[in-house]
Amino acid sequence: MTGHPVFAALYDRMNGAAEREIFAPLRARLLADLPGVVLDVGAGTGANLPHFRAATRVHAVEPDPAMRTRLTAKLDQAAVPVDVTAAPAETLPFADAAVDAVVFTLVLCSVADQAKTLAEARRVLKPGGRLAVLEHVRNTGGHARWQRLATPLCIWLAGGCHPNRDTPTAIEQAGFTFEEREILDPLPKIVPTRPWLYATASVR
Ligand SMILES: C[S@@+](CC[C@H](N)C(=O)[O-])C[C@H]1O[C@@H](n2cnc3c(N)ncnc32)[C@H](O)[C@@H]1O
């Protein structure tokens, strides 16, 4: 993968205030209690790293070399052991039923194939394991039309991000049942990457 070096270089600065004020508390709530072996898929520059508290091991999976460089430089921000793997979400180099939780934060908008990615998450999760999700998703009405128009620009500017994906439906179609499911809308109305899905799910 050649990756997106400019997006990777700007990512932390671009998110700055929103990350501190809005997203970091949501990440903390989603991730702090995840137990055992956790897979952070599309770990990016490592924004989730400080928030894992209960995990015994985090495998941070990231295919983009420019993101991976930044991720690796931040490993000392984690309170739990973390290793980094270069792989795409669609073909995870982990055995069946190997992990207790799979995390997707702002990744299901960007993967090449959502259905394959979610099938892989299901494959590597132990029975009863948890999917933890924080993703912007397709809206309704006029804003959905704006998301559709803005999609080519978002793909170009934001490393392949699609603001108009119906991620909740894709998660259910992959065989997961939601345990917690909230739609949050903390960003300004004009932003195409809203609203946000905060959810946990498992296979029953
Ligand atoms: C918007 S960033 C989010 C990074 C991080 N998860 C976060 O919450 O800040 C999207 C990330 O997904 C990664 N990504 C894109 N396509 C992917 C794929 N097919 N498999 C795994 N990761 C992918 C990108 O390289 C990038 O690091």
The protein residue whose alpha carbon is closest to atom 16 in ligand 1 is: 111
Query: What is the mean pLDDT of the segment spanning 91-117?
Result: 98
Q: Judge whether residue 134 has pLDDT over 80.
A: yes
Query: What is the mean pLDDT of the segment spanning 126-155?
Result: 95
pTM: 0.96
Distance 160 CA to ligand 1 centre (A): 9
The 10 Å CB-count burial string (b at 16+, else e) for 68-90 is bbbbeebeeebeeebebbebbbb
- Report the atom number in ligand 1 closest to the C-alpha of 42: 22
The protein residue whose alpha carbon is closest to atom 14 in ligand 1 is: 42
What average pLDDT does the chain have? 95
pLDDT in tens, 161-181: 999 999 999 999 999 999 999
pLDDT of residue 3: 87
How are strands ordered across the β-sheet holding 99-105?
82-85, 55-61, 36-41, 99-105, 125-136, 196-202, 177-184
pLDDT of residue 69: 96
Domains of the chain: 5-202 (3.40.50.150)
Query: What is the mean pLDDT of the segment spanning 102-120?
Result: 98
pLDDT of residue 14: 86
Distance 193 CA to ligand 1 centre (A): 15
Q: Judge whether residue 155 has pLDDT over 80.
A: yes
Distance 44 CA to ligand 1 centre (A): 5
Distance 45 CA to ligand 1 centre (A): 9
Lowest mean pLDDT among 7-21, 35-49, 60-74: 7-21
The residue to mutate among 107, 108, 109, 156, having the most atoms of ligand 1 within 8 angstroms of its beta carbon, is: 107
Q: Pocket around ligand 1: residues whose beta carbon is below 6 Å from it?
A: 41-44, 47-48, 62-64, 67, 88-90, 105-107, 110-112, 159-160
Phi and psi dihedrals of 50, rounded to 5?
A: -70, -10
pLDDT of residue 16: 84
Confidence of residue 15 (pLDDT cuts 50, 70, 90): confident
pLDDT in tens, 77-98: 999 999 999 999 999 999 999 9
Question: Tokens 């980094």 sit at which residue?
Answer: 84
